């Protein structure tokens, strides 16, 4: 399936769910498994049909926008930032979840401290080498389980899963975590990302079933 057909199919799916009356829940579920999700032990691959090959010697991460210290990190500089290991659950909007995913990488808070966002920064806009983008409120990015991950289960993240670095935001549906990440942009105003302009929820809270706009 071409990228254009894949995107069109996903847009049509979102529109169909809205037409069926699928709406966010008003009350957040307290269960570990969000409503409408099914557990899997696999790790399905969902992307735009583009899996760029990024040699580590050529990879860079640009962090800019409403920050005092805009910075472009190369691979060595990025890995010189503090590293953590965190285990969290993973929830895909396509109704599957996987428990106890073990990620290692740079906590978002370390990136935050390195670039010193201004008082005007309220949103974060992530971009990827595959052309992907997504937006998240800054407050949601400051949880201690939000990572720019380089390893999964002790091994470097593979190309199909977003190597060399992907964003992990466990409390939101996984489309909010960009793969192949190349840019982290701090914004004063919200800017909708790739799927958000194509019918997906801006909130993306799995326990409220915020799947579609």
The percent of residues above 90 in pLDDT, for the chain, comes to 77
| Residue 188, both tokens | 């004063």
Give per-residue pLDDT as tens, 20-59.
Answer: 454 544 555 468 999 999 999 988 776 667 788 999 999 9
Per-residue confidence band for 71, with pLDDT thresholds at 50, 70 and 90: very high
Place of tokens 């962090």: 63
Query: How many beta carbons lie within 10 A of that of residue 57, not counting itself?
Result: 8
| pLDDT for 166 beyond 80 | yes
Q: Quick check: 67 and 118 in contact, CB under 8 A?
A: yes
Give the list of residues 6+ apart from residue 50 with CB closer than 8 angstroms, or none.
3, 130, 131
Confidence at residue 31, expressed as pLDDT on a 0 to 100 scale: 81
Whether a cis peptide bond, with omega within 30° of 0, leads into 164 is yes
Cβ 61 vs Cβ 165: under 8 Å: yes
State the pLDDT at residue 1.
45
| Local confidence band at 4 (pLDDT 50, 70, 90 cut-offs) | low
Say what the pLDDT of residue 156 is. 97
Which residue reads 């400051």 in tokens? Answer: 142
Token pair 């472009």 is at which residue? Answer: 72
pLDDT at 16 over 90: no
Q: Kindly state the DSSP code that residue 93 receives in the 8-state scheme.
A: T
**Hunting for tokens 């073990």 — which residue is that?**
102
For residue 115, pLDDT over 90 is answered with: yes
Q: Each residue of 144-164: pLDDT tens digit?
A: 999 999 999 999 999 989 999
Q: Hey, where are the domains in the chain?
A: 3-43+52-208
For domain 3-43+52-208, the CATH architecture is Alpha-Beta Complex (3.90)
The tokens for 202 are 């801006």
Cα-to-chain-centroid distance, residue 143? 13
Nearest to 61 by CA among 110, 120, 99: 110
Q: What is the pLDDT of residue 131?
A: 94
pLDDT for 213 equals 81
* Total residue count of the chain as it appears in this document: 213
State how far the alpha carbon of 154 is from the alpha carbons of 14, 84, 160, 163, 175, in Å: 35, 12, 16, 14, 23
């Amino acid at each position: 399936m071409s990228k254009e057909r894949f995107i069109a199919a996903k847009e049509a799916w979102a529109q169909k769910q809205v037409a069926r009356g699928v709406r966010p829940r008003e009350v957040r579920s307290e269960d570990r498994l969000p409503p409408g999700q099914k557990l899997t032990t696999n790790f399905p691959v969902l992307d735009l049909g583009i899996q760029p090959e990024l040699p580590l010697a050529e990879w860079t991460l640009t962090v800019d926008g409403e920050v005092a210290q805009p910075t472009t990190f190369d691979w060595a500089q990025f890995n010189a930032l503090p590293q953590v290991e965190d285990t969290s659950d993973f929830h895909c909007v396509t109704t599957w979840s996987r428990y106890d995913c073990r990620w290692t990488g740079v906590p978002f808070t370390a990136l935050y401290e390195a670039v010193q966002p201004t008082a005007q920064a309220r949103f974060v806009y992530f971009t990827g080498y595959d052309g992907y983008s997504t937006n998240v409120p800054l407050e949601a990015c400051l949880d201690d389980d939000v990572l720019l991950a380089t390893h999964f289960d002790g091994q470097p993240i593979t190309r199909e899963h977003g190597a060399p670095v992907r964003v992990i935001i466990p409390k939101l549906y996984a489309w909010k975590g960009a793969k192949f990440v190349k840019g982290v942009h701090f914004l004063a105003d919200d800017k909708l990302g790739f799927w958000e302009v194509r019918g997906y929820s801006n909130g993306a809270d799995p326990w409220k079933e915020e799947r579609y706009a």
